[in-house]
Amino acid sequence: MIDLETPLKGKGLKIVFTEGKDLRMMKAAERLRDKKLLVPVLYGNRTELEKLADSHHICLDGMMILDPDEFQDHEAMENRMLELRKGKADRATVKTWMKKDAYFCTMYVEMGYADGLLGGSTNSTADTLRPIMRLVKTSPGNSIVSSCFLMCKQEKEYIFADCSLNIKPNVDELVEITLQSAQSAKTFGMKPRVALLSYSTYGSGHGEDVDMVKEVATRLKRLPLDYEVDGELQVDCALNKDVAMLKAPDSKVGGCANVLIFPDLNAANIGYKLVANLGGYEAYGPILQGVRLPMNDLSRSATIDEIYTMALITAMQKLNLNR
């Protein structure tokens, strides 16, 4: 497993847990606090959070409580929201938004009070992502937000993308997803070796989908990248050296790819779940890519361990932004 802990020790990064009163969130925060890896910021009513913690013998020392009723800069937050929306929302609208945990926590990070956000343990993906897309938007040089999963088993690690957001990306979008995914690999200390997946290897199959992946490969190979990209490749050719020697003997990625770019959401979502359920890999994600600030969404079925790891991933994204 990639070491997500050592780089964070002593950094004091603050990660907001949008659903602070979710016991899973609180227990993950407790573990992160105990290991001194980051400063958890639990959103919610202080009295309710303290009562929940006390009933489960959780000490909140070393954590921050973000109680919206205690927040002193409501007017500044409203003004910043109005500025970000640029005439697309009035003050009455932003006042309503500020009463919602996802909006309030998104703005708390956007205004620099904390370093990243982790939500979605009880909120839907739509409710978690909507304020991010409206208020934070994409980072410079990016036009879309995508997602990846970090797939881990013992000493093996892979990035799979895009497994949860872009349904049928076009050529431009697939190029951007590839660049974002390679950057995610670097964030986790991996040297990207990127395979653009298809049902065809070097023209063994035909069709519009194959042509699209070929065009993506052509465009990427024109860029001054510091890592290898190849495609189109079938997944066995990307991962199995013996197969690669037969189908693509000159490929620098064949047989050793660690960043797998799927042609569409159907393939990617099915692919990561097959590997997780049949291959025994841990699947961490979805990890948001292309967002201006480190913010991530959880599955509502996320375990304490998964919340813990996603908090570390969010903090690692912040470290990468600071480089």
Q: Are residues 159 and 127 in the same domain?
A: no
Which residue in this structure is represented by tokens 């937050």? 77
Q: Are residues 50 and 110 in the same domain?
A: yes
Q: Are residues 133 and 151 in the same domain?
A: no
Q: What is the pTM of this model?
A: 0.91
For residue 284, being part of any structural domain is answered with no
Look up the CATH number of the domain holding residue 22: 3.40.50.10950
Tell me how far apart the alpha carbons of residues 5 and 23 are, in angstroms, rounded to a whole number.
Answer: 22
For residue 99, being part of any structural domain is answered with yes
Q: Are residues 158 and 257 in the same domain?
A: yes
Tell me how far apart the alpha carbons of residues 159 and 9 are, in angstroms, rounded to a whole number.
Answer: 24
HSE-CB of 24 using CA atoms within 13 angstroms: 21
| 229 touches 178 (CB < 8 A) | yes
- Domains contained in the chain, number: 2
For residue 215, being part of any structural domain is answered with yes
For residue 285, being part of any structural domain is answered with no
| 81 touches 98 (CB < 8 A) | yes
Tell me how far apart the alpha carbons of residues 137 and 206 are, in angstroms, rounded to a whole number.
Answer: 37
Task: Provide the domain limits for residue 198.
Answer: 146-279
For residue 1, being part of any structural domain is answered with no
pLDDT score at 323 = 63
For residue 266, being part of any structural domain is answered with yes
pLDDT score at 231 = 86
Q: Are residues 223 and 299 in the same domain?
A: no
pLDDT score at 203 = 85
Tens place of pLDDT per residue across the chain (323 aa): 688 999 999 999 999 999 999 999 999 999 999 999 999 999 999 999 999 999 999 999 999 999 999 999 999 999 999 999 988 999 999 999 999 999 999 999 999 999 999 998 888 888 899 999 999 999 999 999 999 999 999 889 999 999 999 999 999 999 999 999 999 999 999 999 999 999 999 888 899 999 999 999 999 999 999 999 998 999 999 999 999 999 999 999 999 999 999 999 999 999 999 999 999 999 998 999 999 999 999 988 889 999 999 999 999 999 888 66
pLDDT tens, residue by residue, 110-134: 999 999 999 988 888 888 999 999 9
For residue 76, being part of any structural domain is answered with yes
Which one, of 198, 197, 117, 184, lies nearest residue 320 by Cα? 184
Q: Are residues 186 and 245 in the same domain?
A: yes
| 195 touches 257 (CB < 8 A) | yes
